[in-house]
Amino acid sequence: MAKNLKIYSNSIHTGRLEANDLTFYLARDEETGERVVGVRDPSDAAQLPFTQLLFSQDGDQYFAPNPENAAILRQIIPWLNPAPMGAGEGGVEVPSFGFGDRLGLATPGHIHALRAVSSAGEIYPILAQQSVRENTRTGRTPQQVMDDAMWGVFQEGWQLPWGGDADHLKQESDLAAFVQAGYTFFTVDPGEYVDLAADTDALQVLNDKIGAQPWNEIGEIPIRQGELVDLYLTFCSAAGWPCDQSAVRQGSLRAFAKYGRAVIQITKMYRALKQLMPGSFDFEVSVDETETPTSLLEHFYIAGELKRLGVRFNSLAPRFPGRFEKGVDYIGDLVALEPELARHAAVMRHFGGYRLSLHSGSDKFSVYPLLMRHAGRSVHVKTAGTSYLEALRVEASLAPGLFRQALTLARQRYATDRLTYHVSADEARLPDPQSLADSALPGLLDDFHVRQALHVTFGSALANFGEELKHMLKTHPADYDQALLKHFIRHLEPLVPKA
């Protein structure tokens, strides 16, 4: 019996294979919800390199969307490959936005939201993005994350540039798998090398700590503390900020002691990447998960040292004051945050060539306008888990029984799973899903406590009901698409300058 296929018309691409013009496209099997790769060869002469032929129909051949076929298509269709955006001269001058996707089914919805707010690339999307921590919990490999995003790009025919972010890399051994999988954006998190005690250590201890930093491991000598003080004072007075000499002297000593080892680690990671990457790449430095906010002096120290050491970073994610928790808006004093953002942006402009990056960037609706006001287009916003929450919103309305199981599991797992995340939801305020009517379930996705609990327990949930959830989304793509569209338009609109 003939298959009922829906061809994704945006995916249709004519490309050359061994001197033959072939047509490639993606289609959906309407019975199963699964996608298949369609190939039309009018000459009937090409030796198709694809694996796993599923069926032929009306003269076209259909193959499985497997990793080998993904790799072949990337060679034929250039826009299926992610690309670095660069920075400064020759770089992209629009805000960039990271769309994490823990299920691997959200890219079409992300692209619809991008198209809804920007017609000609006013936002540079990072469509593949996952941290080592997330991959551990979802059981996905860097290559699977990249391939899933690529199938979404193919389906929607997104021919503008896009990137792939290997997020929160902590050690050199994390790099190779992401390089291999074609990532173009590497986020290094030196958090384990940040010395938090330096905030309160006695001066002698600070000096000892600085003396013990292993600069010889990278064959470099650190900046002299006096030079750092002079540079900061010059910058500070040019910026017209009040700068107390003795405070700067002490602050620079603390910054040096606190972040020196982190700078060494970042430099090592950068150099290791240069060895592994034949071409250019985007490099982000993230200290957003440290316990205390990044002071301006610390930002100045980190950026200045990295520049001096030849580390070409394209974005830097400070830890801003207040609480940037997962899946909810900013918690803190916006009136105090704004001048701090403005000053971080001034430090960024002083050194130039990079963006301010906002991690845990989902749902920070009150912060986006402030960020745009002060950092302009030199902004990167990173979101990771809310595409998963939107999937659960769809689940809550279409498969309430399944959603109840996810929430029940979240209540059991939250105390454990929250430990590696910045969240403050109260376990006692998670409702018992058995006590609620079906109609009350979708609204729970707007509840602070439920949102965060579901957000951080995704690994446990996917291990238990991931397949059922994915099947539900594949058989109801329009519902998921609508949910993502609505959610991300709210995120992206503030980043696009009004005409």
Catalytic residues: 167, 284
Contact window for Zn ion (CB under 5 A) among 27-35, 231-239, 280-288, 349-357: 280-288
Least distance in Å: CB of 384 to Zn ion?
Answer: 8
Q: Which of residues 330-359 bind Zn ion (CB under 5 A)?
A: 359
Least distance in Å: CB of 137 to Zn ion?
Answer: 15
360/460 with CB nearer Zn ion: 360
Contact window for Zn ion (CB under 5 A) among 102-110, 284-292, 330-338, 429-437: 284-292
* 380 is a contact residue toward Zn ion (CB under 5 A): no
* 288 is a contact residue toward Zn ion (CB under 5 A): yes
**One-letter amino acid identity for 140?**
R
Least distance in Å: CB of 297 to Zn ion?
Answer: 22
188/484 with CB nearer Zn ion: 188
What is the C-alpha radius of gyration for the chain, rounded to an integer number of angstroms? Answer: 24
> What are the DSSP E strand ranges found in 287-387?
315-317, 355-358, 379-383
Q: What distance in Å separates the CA atoms of residue 393 and residue 102, rounded to the nearest whole number?
A: 15
Number of residue whose CB is nearest Zn ion: 359
140/359 with CB nearer Zn ion: 359
Give the pairing type, strands 35-40 and 20-29: antiparallel
Q: Which of 256, 161, 268 is nearest to 203 (CA)?
A: 256
Q: What would the x/- binding string for Zn ion be over residues 400 to 439, using CB under 5 A?
A: ----------------------------------------
165/288 with CB nearer Zn ion: 288
Q: Please answer whether residues 214 and 261 qualify as being in contact, where contact means their C-beta atoms are separated by less than 8 angstroms.
A: yes
Residue 59 CB neighbours (<10 A): 9
Q: What would the x/- binding string for Zn ion be over residues 86 to 125, using CB under 5 A?
A: ----------------------------------------
Q: Which of residues 359-378 bind Zn ion (CB under 5 A)?
A: 359
Exposed, middle or buried by CB within 10 Å (0-12, 13-18, 19+), for 35? buried
Token pair of 381, please? Answer: 């916003």
Contact window for Zn ion (CB under 5 A) among 135-143, 283-291, 366-374, 433-441: 283-291
Please work out the total of residues on this chain that contact Zn ion, with binding judged by CB under 5 A: 2
Q: What distance in Å separates the CA atoms of residue 341 and residue 9, rounded to the nearest whole number?
A: 44
Q: Which of 350, 328, 333 is nearest to 456 (CA)?
A: 328
Q: What distance in Å separates the CA atoms of residue 382 and residue 185, rounded to the nearest whole number?
A: 12
288/395 with CB nearer Zn ion: 288
Q: Which of 340, 382, 341, 376 is nearest to 361 (CA)?
A: 382
DSSP 478-495: HHHHHHHHHHHHHHHGGG
Contact window for Zn ion (CB under 5 A) among 94-102, 286-294, 409-417, 463-471: 286-294
Least distance in Å: CB of 362 to Zn ion?
Answer: 11
Least distance in Å: CB of 168 to Zn ion?
Answer: 6
Least distance in Å: CB of 286 to Zn ion?
Answer: 5
359/413 with CB nearer Zn ion: 359
Helix (H, G, I), strand (E, B) or coil at 25: strand
Compute the C-alpha angle 480/481/483, nearest 5°: 65
Question: Contact residues for Zn ion (CB under 5 A)?
Answer: 288, 359
